Amino acid sequence: MLTRFSFEKLSECTEGFSKKLGDGGFGSVFQGELGEEKVAVKRLEGARQGKKEFLAEVETIGSIEHINLVRLIGFCAEKSERLLVYEYMSRGSLDRWIYYRHNNAPLDWCTRSRIILDIAKGLCYLHEECRHIIAHLDIKPQNILLDDNFNAKVADFGLCKLINRDQSNFGVVLMEIVSGRKNIDNSQPEEDVQLINLLREKAQNNHLIDLIDRHVEDMVSHQEEVIQMMKLAIWCLQHDSILRPSMSTVIKALEGAISIETLDTNSVMPVQDNPSTYSVTSQASMLSGPR
């Protein structure tokens, strides 16, 4: 059962919203304490629904439970304020560990591949298994949270309906994890700014090895496995959404139950990336299966 908190209580537990953990497309997140339990309090921005619709959506989100989904503990709906209270994830968001901006130790290949599998399992549950099928439309490293042991959990699922978002591509996140760079990186030479365009070029020239994150020697020593992971990303990024794998198929590929060795990366090209968005804009009706 979700707990309904007063705005005053959440302001108190976050010390006046003073300990900011981060900003996201849906609002700011603050660290709080409820008794001896640490929590993350998200103060939503841009929520345009009335209280009745908000409560109905929160009830749906709160009924979903999976080991690879961040758990919703409670909420607040007072006047124009809309807040959500989540379990606290000690390692923060994945972007802090793959973009090399926070002086964190680089993640080894074993950890990265496990994180990718965790993300796939969380999305598979949302898209194919839970009673309320939810298409997560804002998948990006900022919305993947890590616990003490670097187990990954998907956050912000269901919020696209509250905030009106319509973006997603699991293959983009996968490529960011294995390459250690952003999808759109303006610090790169002009021809390399867009990761997915670069992926297309390297696949055509059979030079996928060039995209492996070179910050970690361990990544290079596992280059064959990393390249197979890139081929899986390409499969997820095909032009024709009908040909993209379902998340359950992605999990089988990650666990070795099916092979992607035979995938022709020259005939299966990823979609053209759009520099104005985080990832390729897709219609919500197309997102219940693939990704």
Co-location of 179 and 78 in the same domain = no
118 belongs to the catalytic site? no
CATH code of the domain covering residue 143: 1.10.510.10
Instruction: Determine the average pLDDT of the residues in 196-202.
Output: 94
Is residue 279 assigned to a domain? yes
pLDDT tens-digit map of 237-286: 988 888 889 999 999 999 999 888 666 666 666 665 554 434 333 222 22
Query: Which residues sit in the known binding site for ATP?
Result: 42
Co-location of 111 and 59 in the same domain = no
Give the end of a domain, one of 36, 57, 87: 87
Is residue 252 assigned to a domain? yes
Give the structural domain span for 147. 92-286
- Partners of residue 27 on adjacent β-strands: 24, 44
* pLDDT on residue 264: 63
Burial of 37 (0-12, 13-18, 19+ CB in 10 A): exposed
pLDDT tens-digit map of 58-115: 998 898 899 999 999 999 999 889 999 999 999 999 999 999 877 888 899 999 999 9
* pLDDT on residue 280: 32
CATH code of the domain covering residue 67: 3.30.200.20
What is the three-state SS of the chain? CCEECCHHHHHHHCCCCCCEEEEECCEEEEEEEECCEEEEEEEECCCCCCHHHHHHHHHHHHCCCCCCECCEEEEEEECCEEEEEEECCCCEECHHHHCCCCCCCCCCHHHHHHHHHHHHHHHHHHHHHCCCCCCCCCCCHHHEEECCCCCEEECCCCHHHHHCCCECCHHHHHHHHHHCCCCECCCCCHHHCEHHHHHHHHHHCCCHHHHCCCCCHHHHHCHHHHHHHHHHHHHHCECCHHHCCEHHHHHHHHCCCCCCCCCCCCCCCECCCCCCCCCCECCHHHCCCEC
Query: Which residues sit in the known binding site?
Result: 42
- Partners of residue 42 on adjacent β-strands: 29, 84
Co-location of 118 and 251 in the same domain = yes
Is residue 18 assigned to a domain? yes
Is residue 291 assigned to a domain? no
Number of domains forming the structure of the chain: 2
Co-location of 148 and 70 in the same domain = no
Between 148 and 128, the more confident residue is: 148
* pLDDT on residue 181: 93
Which among 95, 108, 118, 138 is annotated as catalytic?
Answer: 138
